[in-house]
Amino acid sequence: MKIEAVVNAEIELLAAIKNADVSALEKILHDDLLFNLPDGNTITKEFDLNSYRSGKMKVDAIEALDQIITLIDDTAVVAVTVVLKGFVDNNPINGAFRYIRVWKQFDENLRVIAGSCIQLQ
């Protein structure tokens, strides 16, 4: 695994989130994904995909800053600040969030197997 592959996977993920591209997210997110939200709830891949399918999650702008990537064998850990603007259930989201994402190599594909985020502001 190379850093460039992880950087590109992160770019693809943010584009899929911005465009609510469920088919891309299905390929990027591992079936057994667990993700901790800022409110403490843990969600699954299917929960996340359903939020995009239903239109509950709408992202108007997304930008990544301060990305740190560590490679450990076939796994990458990414810490990144994401400035996000959009809506969840018609409630506005507007702020900076610090994410940690764990990517794992499966054959030719990198997939997110775990993650967490906290709100910074």
Q: What is the largest CA-CA distance in the chain?
A: 41
CATH node for 3-119: 3.10.450.50
Q: How far apart (Å, rounded) are the C-alpha atoms in residues 101 and 22?
A: 19
DSSP state for residue 76 in the 8-state scheme: E
Q: What are phi and psi of 96, to 5 degrees?
A: -105, 135
- What is the reported pTM? 0.93
**Which residue has 């810490």 as its token pair?**
79
Complete DSSP assignment for 8-26? HHHHHHHHHHHTT-HHHHH
pLDDT in tens, the chain (121 residues): 899 999 999 999 999 999 999 999 999 999 999 999 999 999 999 999 999 999 999 999 999 999 999 999 999 999 999 999 999 998 999 999 999 999 999 988 999 999 999 999 6
Which tokens go with 98?
Answer: 């610090």
